[in-house]
């Protein structure tokens, strides 16, 4: 391991999953003596600033990122595009100022790490700095997926793959976090288990009788009436409310309480976001996924979850759908019990190896020696990975 590497770490700010996962890697880098400057947008900036305050070698800078607009449980693509285009000129100007500030602060990065954040990757490209990609999204582009899992989503898949491909092109290596293991189709790719925050690693599974519900979009107000029709107790997070309505308890945000409610839940209901889904899988909690309509990555996560027998997936939450899911909870629990509980050691080992090899002059690292779920075999994979074509 090379000591004291200066690392620019870009974190996408849409949602909080990227921030919670990046925190684990950044803390690991700081403990090893690396100097890390984090660039991050949205709510994730405050979260990382607070969580990383104890590490003097880590600083955070806020940039502007893309934001998504929702209508009910669907992505409003038109509104999202309009909002981002409207704010694009000012956002670009602010981001240029941030990266100028990075240069003027005499922080000359030797390495860039991108958690699906394109500004840091662009900075690296312009300054000839190697990039390590660490995120779950690259699985869309860098792996092969069964046709059955893409049924009815061919156009969305092709569109998503193009978007992901353009996000962090030409990285030295792509470390892809995942709870499912499709065949790797591209070089410079390693699959590792999901990044788990310390609170999840420390949690012990003790199933109770409540069902945890996590809803990130407050516009989905049809959720509560559906839950009220069922003979189960629900603890609902994310609707910005507190109190109780019959069998439904609205919980204020609390990281400690949420983890406790998750580890003791009979089952969970959530969208298709990777973070909570992977935490539920790690803890052995059966999950019913309701992916946001128009979010292909969430749809893919949900379909793999169902294929593996770890839970179910549905387009909407209706009485019959939920009852059928809860009746199958014992089957899901049995499948989850067969999955080994993995920690972050594979991921962190890959990161350490990459820092060492990039520091020794490898501009692109084809295959890692560190143990992993799956690795690229360069002799058999697609050869379209020249810089700029990833």
- Domain extents in the chain: 6-196+343-375, 198-337
What three-state secondary structure class fits 267? Answer: strand
In this prediction, residue 25 carries a pLDDT of 98
Q: DSSP E strands: which ranges in the chain?
A: 6-11, 35-41, 58-63, 70-71, 74-75, 111-115, 131-135, 143-144, 173-177, 183-184, 189-192, 210-214, 233-237, 243-245, 248-251, 267-270, 287-289, 311-313, 374-375
In this prediction, residue 26 carries a pLDDT of 98
Which CATH architecture is the domain 198-337 placed in? 3-Layer(aba) Sandwich (3.40)
Predicted structure pTM score: 0.87
pLDDT at 58 over 60: yes
What is the C-alpha to C-alpha distance for residues 251 and 256, in angstroms, rounded to an integer? 12
What is the C-alpha to C-alpha distance for residues 171 and 97, in angstroms, rounded to an integer? 24
Distance in angstroms between the alpha carbons of the first and the last residue of the chain? 28
pLDDT at 283 over 90: yes
Q: What is the arrangement of strands in the sheet containing 248-251, beginning at the earlier edge strand?
A: 243-245, 248-251, 233-237, 210-214, 267-270, 287-289, 311-313
Fill in the DSSP letter of residue 369: S
What three-state secondary structure class fits 128? Answer: coil
Give yes or no on whether 6-196+343-375 and 198-337 have one common fold: yes
In this prediction, residue 69 carries a pLDDT of 35
Distance from CA of residue 368 to its chain's centroid?
Answer: 22
Provide mean pLDDT across the span 140-156. Answer: 94
Provide mean pLDDT across the span 254-283. Answer: 96
Of 3.30.70.260, 3.40.718.10, 3.40.640.10, 3.40.50.2000, the CATH number of 6-196+343-375 is 3.40.50.2000
In this prediction, residue 95 carries a pLDDT of 52
């Amino acid at each position: 391991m090379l000591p004291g590497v200066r690392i620019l770490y870009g974190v996408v700010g849409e949602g909080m999953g990227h921030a919670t996962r990046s925190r684990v890697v950044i803390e690991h880098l700081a403990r090893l003596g690396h100097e890390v400057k984090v660039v991050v947008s949205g709510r994730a900036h405050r979260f990382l600033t607070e969580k990383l305050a104890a590490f003097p070698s880590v600083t955070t800078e806020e940039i502007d990122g893309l934001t998504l607009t929702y209508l009910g449980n669907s992505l409003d693509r038109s509104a999202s595009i309009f909002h981002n285009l409207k704010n694009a000129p000012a956002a670009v100007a602010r981001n240029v100022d941030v990266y100028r500030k990075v240069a003027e602060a005499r922080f000359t990065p030797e390495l860039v790490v991108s958690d699906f954040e394109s500004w840091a990757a662009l900075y690296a490209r312009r300054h000839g700095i190697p990039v390590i990609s660490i995120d779950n999204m690259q699985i869309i582009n860098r792996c092969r997926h069964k046709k059955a899992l893409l049924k009815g989503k061919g156009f969305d898949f092709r569109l998503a793959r193009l978007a992901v491909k353009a996000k962090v092109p030409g990285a030295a290596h792509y470390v892809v976090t995942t709870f499912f293991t499709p065949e790797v189709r591209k070089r410079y790719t390693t699959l590792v288990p999901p990044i788990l925050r310390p609170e999840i690693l420390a949690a012990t599974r003790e199933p109770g009788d409540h069902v945890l519900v996590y809803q990130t979009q407050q516009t989905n107000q049809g959720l509560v009436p559906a839950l009220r029709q069922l003979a189960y107790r629900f603890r609902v997070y994310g609707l910005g409310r507190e109190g109780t309505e019959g069998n439904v308890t609205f919980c204020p945000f609390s990281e400690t309480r949420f983890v406790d409610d998750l580890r003791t839940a009979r089952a969970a209901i959530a969208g298709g976001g990777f973070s909570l889904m992977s935490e539920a899988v790690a803890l052995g909690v059966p999950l019913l996924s309701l992916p946001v309509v128009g979010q292909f990555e969430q749809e893919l996560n949900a379909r793999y979850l169902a294929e593996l027998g770890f839970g179910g997936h549905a387009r909407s939450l209706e009485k019959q759908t939920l009852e059928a899911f809860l009746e199958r909870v014992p089957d899901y629990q049995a499948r989850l019990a067969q999955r080994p509980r993995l920690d972050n050691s594979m991921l962190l080992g890959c990161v350490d190896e990459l820092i060492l090899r990039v520091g020794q002059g490898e501009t692109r690292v084809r295959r890692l020696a560190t143990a992993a779920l799956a690795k690229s075999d360069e002799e058999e994979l697609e050869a379209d990975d020249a810089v700029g074509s990833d």
